[in-house]
Amino acid sequence: MVRTGLLRRPAAARAEPLRRPAEEAGDSVVLEAGDDDCIALEAGDDDCIVLEVGDDIILEAGDDGIILEAGDDDCIALEAGDGDCIALEAGDGDCIALEAGDGDCIALEAGDGDCITLEAGDSVVLEAGDDDCIALGTGDDHHIIALAAGGGDCIALEAGGGDCIALEAGGGDCIALEAEGGDCIALDAGGDDCIALEAGGGDCIALEAGGGDCIALEAGGGDCIALDAGGDDCIALEAGGGDCIALEAGGDDCIALEAGGDGCDGCIALGAGGGDCIAQEAGGDDCIALEAGGGDCIALEAGGGDCIALDAGGDDCIALEAGGGDCIALEAGGDDCIALEAGGDGCDGCIALVAGGGDCIAQEARGDDCIALEAGGGDCIALEAGGGDCIALEAGGGDCIALEAGGGDCIALEAGGGDCIALEAGGGDCIALEAGGGDCIALEAGGGDCIALETGGGGGLLALGTGDDHHIIALEGGGGGRILALDTGGEQRPRNLL
């Protein structure tokens, strides 16, 4: 005989013989109780098909499936030993506990009440209407398929050695999603906060918050694929020994994206729509992209790898630094580019520093080339290369303060309507210096050639000097421009002086 059910009754009820206002026919049992409690339902070899009651219930079943429905009251406990729990539905009351030993728990649904604890051997679906989902836990070898809350909070989702597939909350908070040895696939919150997504040795695939905060996404030895926040802050995305692929914030701040450890493949992308990008750091590899729409890009640093791109739409780019690698591009739309620096052995140069309408403060390369520094309507303060070439420094309507190269060539320095303060080359050539309507203060070359210096409008040429053995090829001034001083050494003479 299969034992399908044994329900405990109060002591007073058990003192009297059980009365069943029920119909027993073969495999079907129907028990209905109006305002009283349904204390016990026993079926010998048959199945318990439908149990409808008014008040509290304690139900224990052996091997077979059960449908339990409660109207306005609570479902206290449903336990199944070796069988399946098919469906448990509560209208306005609470579902306190559902436990299954070796079988499956398919669905637990509560209308307006609380789902306190759901523990099952295998896969689980837990849904709560307007209240809270407190805890969903599984053993070492099983998956958590879905935990969804309509308008309440998802407090904790923990998996021992398996995967956490999905944790979703409509309008409440997602407090914690933790997996020790498996993967955390997705944590979504509609209009509130995602506090923590942590994976011990696996991957964190996605953490998304609609209008709230993404506080922390951390992976011990795996990869952090994506952290997205719609209109608020992304506080921290950290990966111990894996990759940080993408951290994006719609209209607010991206505080930190950090990847460290051996074998780190880099920080691929950190983007903020209208807020600030505070810091992106990679220990031993590449920083691919740091972008901010209308906010500040504070710092992009790579220890021994390359910094590919740092873009800011309408605000400041404070610092882009690479220890021993390349700094490819630093761009700011309408504001200032403060510093672009590359150092170390084997540095392939600073490729591009561009500002739309702001200032380019400093671009420095230790042992190689500075390719391009451009400012639309602002000032270019300093472009310096230790032993390589300075290819181009251009300013639309502002001033070019200083372009210096230690032992290489200065190819071009151009200013539209402002001043070119200083262009200096230690042992190489100065190819071209042009100013539209402003002044060219000083052009000096230690032991190389000065190819062309041109000024238009009413700008003046204050000083042009060369060393002993090299020439001044061409010097042209238009309008009322003046040549205040022209010095050459040795036996060289100026040519084509207009």
Give the DSSP letter of residue 483: B
Angle at 314 between CA 404 and CA 279, to 5 degrees: 75
Structural tokens at position 279: 């810091």
Q: What is the pLDDT of residue 300?
A: 73
Cα gap 498→431, rounded to integer Å? 18
Q: Which three-class secondary structure state does DSSP give residue 13?
A: helix
Q: What is the pLDDT of residues 174-195, one digit of tens each?
A: 767 767 667 777 777 765 667 6
Cα gap 311→328, rounded to integer Å? 11
Count of C-beta atoms within a 10 Å radius of residue 323:
16
The residue with tokens 């969804």 is 148
Cα gap 493→330, rounded to integer Å? 42
The residue with tokens 């969903």 is 136
Cα gap 365→367, rounded to integer Å? 6
Q: Please, which residues have CB within 8 angstroms of residue 420's CB and are 6 or more apart in sequence?
A: 399, 400, 413, 433, 434, 435, 438, 439, 440, 441
Instruction: Report the pLDDT averaged over residues 389-408.
Output: 72
Cα gap 209→273, rounded to integer Å? 15
Q: Please, which residues have CB within 8 angstroms of residue 85's CB and are 6 or more apart in sequence?
A: 65, 66, 78, 98, 100, 103, 104, 105, 106, 120
Count of C-beta atoms within a 10 Å radius of residue 154:
28
Structural tokens at position 115: 């789902």
Among the residue ranges 159-168, 352-361, 488-497, the one predicted with the least confidence is 488-497
The residue with tokens 């400093």 is 362
Q: What are phi and psi of 304, to 5 degrees?
A: -125, 15
Cα separations (Å) of 344 from 305, 365, 366, 371, 493? 11, 9, 7, 17, 41
Q: What is the pLDDT of residues 2-33, one digit of tens each?
A: 222 322 223 333 233 323 333 333 344 444 54
Q: Please, which residues have CB within 8 angstroms of residue 235's CB and are 6 or more apart in sequence?
A: 213, 214, 215, 216, 255, 256
Q: What is the pLDDT of residue 336?
A: 67
Domain boundaries, the chain: 1-131, 399-498
pTM of the model: 0.45
For every residue of 62-127, DSSP letters joined together read SSS--EEEESSS-EEEEEESSS-B-EEEESSS-EEEEEESSS-B--EEESSS-EEEEE-SS--EEE
Cα gap 268→291, rounded to integer Å? 11
Report which of 429, 320, 295 is spatially closest to residue 373, judged by C-alpha positions: 320
Pick the most confident of 147-161, 249-263, 279-293, 404-418. Answer: 404-418
Q: What is the pLDDT of residue 405?
A: 73
Q: What is the pLDDT of residues 224-234, one digit of tens each?
A: 777 767 655 67
Q: What is the pLDDT of residues 469-478, one digit of tens each?
A: 555 655 655 5
